Amino acid sequence: MRKFLYLLFSLALIAALVTYALWTTDRPAGHYLSDLRINLAVDQGTPADRGNLLGIQPELFPTDYQSPERLHRKLAAYLQTARDQGFLNDKTIVVLPEHIGTWLMVSGEKDEVYQATTFKQAMHWLAVSNPLAFIQALAGAKGDSRLDDAYLRMKAATMAHDYQALFGGLAKEFGVTLVAGSIVLPEPSVSEGELKIGRGALYNSSLVFGRDGRPIGQPQRQRHPVFDQQEVLEAEHSDASRVIETPAGRLGILIGSDSWYPLHYRQLNEQGAQLIAVPAFVMGRDTWDKPWSGYKGLSTPDEVSLKPGELTEGQAWLRLTLTSQLPISQARGGVSVFLRGQFWDNGSAGQSFISHNGEQFSDGQSRGARLLNLWL
């Protein structure tokens, strides 16, 4: 009898494991319906032959990341609208928001991931449906929050490939220079024209693609991750920001709250930066109108006297983002672009704006997809 029960238990366990293995490999394509519309928020300056800086504030949701093809469809629709309105040319620099590439972590997943009601539930399903990759990533995780590190690390190689294929493909398809927002990857670098990952710490990084679809230079890593990400993300400790040569001029990139540090602008001035792109992201649906909580990085600049609570989050971004505000920044112009949408129970805030001649321009609307154009 004991042998029979043991055999029965073994068969049941094998059946359960086989069923689970089959379940993890099943990736059905769920129904997809997304708003492809985008409105023109700002059109500043006069068209000339010097090119333009074009910010795209997308509105994205988890189902937009169900496959790279779906995300391509939405972003291509935005770019096609810009082309139809005459905003794309050989010297156009398109800027996308922070973390637009990071959410590729949920691409190609099971319906349970996209149907989850909370971010925590979605990450649970992500791990359960990729058990071997998750266990391997957890074993190599670093920092104080190993679980969050593992979620981001477990599909890093696929994320890097999809990021380059998607955003490099869009740059080539529309013939523009593309600042591809940012993506979190372990020790990202470009080698022989391909975005590669390493085995070390995770960095929030931005990569620029030229009109031929190939990367320009190395990824720009964020130097001041916000405090709620410091347990996961490593800060870039390089003393100088890099500029990139583009058809419209020398371009500097400041990721998120890196744009709050006057030192970074002075370093870009020394390298002759003429344009500045700020891919950004603010968590929380109503955060933009709530009191500013202060500097969220590793330090507060001595020369900044603004105190937490004096202004709203949005007012602080406008005050602290110093693009084209002489004498600190000598750039001709800049654009700050925020990611909008809803990722499970995590809403987003941020009102994208153009900076030019010491002034900021936006349409006063934070929600929805927006185009912001500055003629140079």
Q: What are phi and psi of 294, to 5 degrees?
A: 100, -175
CA distance 102 to 47: 34
CB 161 within 8 A of CB 197: no
CATH code 1.10.10.10 for 30-375 = no
- Is residue 105 within 8 Å of residue 344, measured between CB atoms? no
Domain assignments of the chain as residue spans, ordered by start: 30-375
Distance between CA atoms of residues 87 and 96, nearest Å: 15
**pLDDT at res. 179:** 98
Helix (H, G, I), strand (E, B) or coil at 219: strand
- Three-state SS for 373? strand
Please choose, from the candidates 335, 233, 228, the residue with its C-alpha nearest in 3D space to the C-alpha of residue 277. 335
Neighbours of 104 (CB within 10 A): 24
DSSP annotation of 157? H
The pLDDT of residue 26 is: 57
Could you give phi then psi for residue 110, rounded to 5 degrees? -75, 160
Give every residue of the chain whose pLDDT is below 50, as ranges.
4-5, 7-24
Query: How far apart, in whole angstroms, are the C-alpha atoms of residue 108 and residue 25?
Result: 11
* Alpha-carbon dihedral 145, 146, 149, 154, rounded to 10 degrees: -160
From residue 294, alpha-carbon distances to 196, 289, 307, 310 in Å are: 35, 14, 7, 9
Instruction: Look at residue 186 in the predicted model and tell me its pLDDT.
Output: 95
Residue with tokens 């477990």: 154
Specify the pLDDT at position 15: 41
Radius of gyration (C-alpha) of the chain in whole angstroms: 22
Q: What is the DSSP string of 244-283?
A: EEETTEEEEE--GGGGG-HHHHHHHHHTT--EEEEEE-EE
> Residue 356: in which H helix or E strand, if any?
strand 353-356
